[in-house]
Structure 1
Amino acid sequence: MKALKALIFILFFCNGLSTSTARECQTNAETIVLTSYPIKPKDRTGSTSEEGLPIKRSIQRPIADAYLYNNVVNVSFNGDIAVVNVTITNESTGETVYSETHSSPAALNIDLNGESTGNYLIEIETEDTLLTGSFSL
């Protein structure tokens, strides 16, 4: 019984230690604010459906979050996305430094250590949404 209590204590201690370490890593990361633009036009019929019933609306969670930590852009996706195009452009030169298409990504880590300092634009494009954000190296 004492061994079981000790094991449970160790598990809780390790869980708390890993949580505080993860929180510390997140606080040192710079959040890249992403702005969402719909690619497909929205329904312009009004606030009722074709049957005359009210359309249910909900707060939409962004499809992705992006962070910059040690010149690595971390993009985490908040749902199932079939295909996503990610492009990073140096805003001062107009040079595309990263451009790839990914199938069903959960998270991406884009290493920009070889790039020069400056302002960059990230574009994350899905079938129906374009997210854009700016960050500095």
Structure 2
Amino acid sequence: MDNKTKLRFGGLALLTAAVLSLIFVLFTDSWPIAILLAVAVVAGTVFGLIWSSRRQQRQFLERLKKFDIDPEKGRVNEANLRRMYHSGGQAQKDVITILCMAQKCSVEEAHAMMKNRPTRQQMNQMAQQQMKGQRRPHR
């Protein structure tokens, strides 16, 4: 997250705390208690959101590792993605998310890419193209 976004979230949290303190003053009749309550509520909410976000990220990485996908290397085997897609459920949603981000396409296009299985001829052509790229020049 960049600094501009952090400043926006900080400003939003400060504004929320100010509004909550005004509301709490109506119930407590004491400014210091109202401000402390508002800060505590906002801090609890912010820490809850941060914890939830990190938990979701950790679960996403665990789901990827179940299908032998290592996100740290940045290279993904298409066969593993297809296997993950056809397992269904949350794994399928994860594959669609990965494809949409990598290919910069819509959800429908990502589904179409995963449903379209390459024929044997297409697979042979792709293998030949990869072999051409890997050949070393004669010395």
- Please report the TM-score for the alignment, with normalisation by the length of structure 1: 0.32
Larger Rg: 2
Higher relative contact order (CA 8 A, sep 6+): 1
The structure whose residues are more often helix, as a share, is 2
Structure in which a larger fraction of residues adopt strand: 1
